[in-house]
Amino acid sequence: MDMPAPSIDVLNRKSRIVERLRNALSAEHVKSDPVETRAYECDALTAYACQPLCVVLPGSTGEVGEVLRICSEERVPVVPRGSGTSLAGGALPTSDCVVLGVSRMSRILEVDYENRCIRVEAGRTNLSVTGAVEEDGFFYAPDPSSQLACAIAGNIAMNAGGAHCLKYGVTTNNLLGLTMVTMDGSVVEIGGAHMDASGYDWLGLVCGSEGQLGVVTEATLRILPRPEGARPMLIGFASPEVAGACVSDIIRAGVLPVAIEYMDRKVIEVVESFSQAGYPDCEALLIVEVEGSPAEIDDQLGVIGNIARGHDPVELREAGDADEAARIWLGRKSAFGAMGKLNDYICLDGTIPVSELPRVLQRIGALSRQYGLDVGNVFHAGDGNMHPLILFNANSSGELETCEALGAEILKLCVEAGGCLTGEHGVGIEKRDLMHVQFDPVDLEAQMNVKDVLDPAWLLNPAKVFPLSETATRRAAA
């Protein structure tokens, strides 16, 4: 993966830049010692790492503004950072950049039940947003598997999703307002507790812009009353194709489960040996969860069970109590960890129309054999958001490259099937050079035009999202 050559001019001015930042923030929050900045050299795409020029940890919107103004004047690239759990290399530094972390900004600013929203500082972790309102029976819906660690800032930048998005939508559908600082240090207020925007949909535009338009410092998020209850059902199938057909039929029937999760044999086996969830021995399984009162849940699971029976399930298991429900989810929740114990992996995130699931799963199997690397599939089936995990050994020379080549083939397959390169993890550096597969040059130009307006000098996270060749002139002008 190429990264642009660092600006020698910026590297030469390191001490002056650090000095200016230290004068603006307290010295302890500007880290330039390599021992201290090491923790920021990569995100969860650990195959790539680079020490930044320095790391700043501002404590307020005002301080973020100061930092950005200085960096603008000094023409230093800035890489915003939440918790560094990006799987796409979105928070990967360059050696000539300042990493701007918002982790110190994690306060709850206002809980507002009358307007059903909560205002938080953007460094707050996803799960602790729900934590602040759950005693009163509310929750924040988007639930990425990384929710214990990842920050709202990163969720907004990546437009994060999660298992329960089938019913509740992703970050952009649950974001009501935000405070953002643009590269020149201007503070921008967008939206609020009201339900739609006046003027253009700035919220929608900023959400998913991968830290390239501004640094988000505060957010107003929609909170929802918790349903009366929820219960999963586990269904095992004799083939991936049948499981895929069942997903389509469930959706068609008008039941709207909160989640439909899929795991294939590879993942089931690994997970079984790791967590002993008691999953059946089968080619594919679905976990379908529905919500409501006990009677409503019975009703919906009844409908789903009937549909599933039409597909000759190997096993059909309804959670009788909370304990059984937890066991059904246990394996799914530990899937990524379990796969990681087995080997190194990269996790893809292509999304396809649900109806294409059977065909695409078959093709992935063929590609896996062709490249000689195992692929496990565990994903959000209800919305076609696949997560093929390609297993490889990082210590074996050339395997990372083979793995990336296989990954690229799988993502091309997703686009060809009518889907896209990434459903929730973002482009980052990982899929940057595949953007041509999905977009024509005019499409990319239109997107880059937006960055030209909000960050004309292309200093915010400049080497991400777009193919480097497309952005070369713009970055050089900086």
Partner 1 sequence: MLTPSDERELAEAVAGAAGPLAVLGGGTRRVGHPVDGDDLTVAGLSGVTFYEPGALTLVARAGTPLAQVEAMLASEGQMLAFEPMDHRKLLGTSGEPTIGGTVAANASGPRRVRAGACRDFLLGVRFVDGCGRIIKNGGRVMKNVTGYDLVRLMAGSRGTLGVLSEVCLKVLPRPESTGVLLLVGLDVEVAVRAMSAALNSPYEVSGAAHVPVGLDGDPVTMIRLEGFEASVAYRVERLKDHLAEFGPAGIERRTEGPESAKAGWAWIRDVEAHGGTGEDVWRFSIPPRDAPALVESLGDASVVLDWGGGLVWAAVEQGRDARRSLSSGHATIMRADDETRNRLGVFQPEAEPLASFAEGLRRKFDPEGILNPGLMG
Ligand X SMILES: Cc1cc2nc3c(=O)[nH]c(=O)nc-3n(C[C@H](O)[C@H](O)[C@H](O)COP(=O)(O)OP(=O)(O)OC[C@H]3O[C@@H](n4cnc5c(N)ncnc54)[C@H](O)[C@@H]3O)c2cc1C
For ligand X, which is the closer residue by CB, 156 or 233?
Answer: 156
For ligand X, which is the closer residue by CB, 203 or 242?
Answer: 203
> DSSP labels for 353-415?
-GGGHHHHHHHHHHHHHHHT--EEEEEEGGGTB--EEEEE-TTSTTHHHHHHHHHHHHHHHHH
For ligand X, which is the closer residue by CB, 214 or 244?
Answer: 214
The partner in contact with residue 84, picked from ligand X, partner 1, none with C-beta cut-offs of 5 to 8 angstroms by kind, is: ligand X
Q: How far is the CB of 217 from ligand X (least distance, A)?
A: 7
Q: Which residue has the tokens 């079984």?
A: 272
C-alpha–C-alpha distance, residues 380 and 261, integer Å: 5
Q: How far is the CB of 6 from ligand X (least distance, A)?
A: 18
- Pick from 424, 430, 455, 470 the residue near ligand X by CB under 6 A: 424
Q: How far is the CB of 300 from partner 1 (least distance, A)?
A: 8
The partner in contact with residue 83, picked from ligand X, partner 1, none with C-beta cut-offs of 5 to 8 angstroms by kind, is: ligand X
Q: How far is the CB of 150 from ligand X (least distance, A)?
A: 4
The partner in contact with residue 197, picked from partner 1, ligand X, none with C-beta cut-offs of 5 to 8 angstroms by kind, is: partner 1
C-alpha–C-alpha distance, residues 169 and 163, integer Å: 10
Stretch that binds ligand X, among 155-163, 242-250, 260-268, 299-307 (CB under 6 A): 155-163
Map the footprint of ligand X across residues 39-98, applying CB under 6 A: 43-44, 79-87, 90-91
C-alpha–C-alpha distance, residues 478 and 458, integer Å: 6
Q: CA-based angle 187:189:190, to the nearest 5? A: 140
Find out whether 424 and 166 touch, Cβ atoms under 8 Å. no
Q: Which of 159, 150, 153, 160 is nearest to 64 (CA)?
A: 153
Structure tokens of 361?
Answer: 């799963």
The partner in contact with residue 87, picked from ligand X, partner 1, none with C-beta cut-offs of 5 to 8 angstroms by kind, is: ligand X
C-alpha–C-alpha distance, residues 256 and 167, integer Å: 7
Element (H, E) at 101: strand 98-101
The partner in contact with residue 228, picked from ligand X, partner 1, none with C-beta cut-offs of 5 to 8 angstroms by kind, is: partner 1
Q: How far is the CB of 207 from partner 1 (least distance, A)?
A: 7
Stretch that binds ligand X, among 111-119, 157-165, 262-270, 388-396 (CB under 6 A): 157-165
Q: How far is the CB of 467 from partner 1 (least distance, A)?
A: 11
The partner in contact with residue 439, picked from partner 1, ligand X, none with C-beta cut-offs of 5 to 8 angstroms by kind, is: partner 1
Residue 281 has, within 13 A of its CA and on its CB side, a CA count of 0
Stretch that binds ligand X, among 65-73, 139-147, 219-227, 312-320 (CB under 6 A): 139-147
C-alpha–C-alpha distance, residues 119 and 223, integer Å: 10
- Pick from 53, 67, 102, 290 the residue near ligand X by CB under 6 A: 102
Question: What's the order of all strands across the beta sheet hosting 375-380?
Answer: 315-318, 230-237, 284-291, 259-264, 375-380, 388-392, 344-347
Q: Which residue has the tokens 């990319």?
A: 444
The partner in contact with residue 332, picked from ligand X, partner 1, none with C-beta cut-offs of 5 to 8 angstroms by kind, is: none
Q: Which residues bind ligand X (CB under 6 A)?
A: 43-44, 79-87, 90-91, 102, 122, 144-146, 150-151, 153-155, 157-158, 160-162, 210-211, 215-216, 336, 424-426, 461
